[in-house]
A and B are shown apart, each in its own frame.
Chain A
Amino acid sequence: GENVEQHPSTLSVQEGDSAVIKCTYSDSASNYFPWYKQELGKRPQLIIDIRSNVGEKKDQRIAVTLNKTAKHFSLHITETQPEDSAVYFCAANAADMRFGAGTRLTVKP
């Protein structure tokens, strides 16, 4: 099955700085790569996704890049704010959806 690895496990940035989280996947059949944000005690919620026929996608301060050849994809958050503090999960699908271990992002005011 698909194996997704995510780095770093924790990330601390100053408000206004950028944050980058990286993931790799193993199954070349995977074609959909979402990112979820989970605030403490709440359910994960989709923040952005990308499909295999696209190399980059942006939504305001959030962007995702995909390198299918290298089997890795990244989440970029610019101009970080304290409310961006949460756990972020990447995922990849082949026949099912597999998640990375998560990155705890802390944005210091």
Chain B
Amino acid sequence: DGGITQSPKYLFRKEGQNVTLSCEQNLNHDAMYWYRQDPGQGLRLIYYSQIVNDFQKGDIAEGYSVSREKKESFPLTVTSAQKNPTAFYLCASSILEAIGELFFGEGSRLTVL
């Protein structure tokens, strides 16, 4: 089955710890995105990547880091510098840049204890 897979689905972290969320797609999409979803605030863009080894900051990149070493993979690290990391994180991919449908993963819910 083609699709986009996020893991883990649920994650708990202690304050001060970094955590990495995985996002893998087998759709052969060029572009990949990370969004954060908080209640009442919609989807806010953290980072996006249009090609391998290149990525751009979105609106709320502070406290996050990404890499794009392979076309299929776009992991997101939530660092200890992110002041309020508890949220629902969605990864998405699209064919070319942002001119087509975004396909979303099922999301990862991070809770900081």
Contact = CB atoms under 8 A, between A and B. Distances in A.
Interface residues of B, number: 25
If over half of B's interface residues share one DSSP class (helix, strand or loop), that class is named, otherwise mixed; here it is loop
Interface string A2-42: 00001001000000000000000000000110101000001
Interface in A78-109: 89, 91, 93-102
Interface of B: 33, 35, 40-45, 48, 56, 58-59, 90, 92, 94, 97-102, 104-107
Interface of A: 1, 6, 9, 31-32, 34, 36, 42-46, 49, 89, 91, 93-102
A45 B58 CA distance: 21
Contacts of A94: 98
Contact of B101 (A6, A43, A46): A46
Nearest to A4: B42
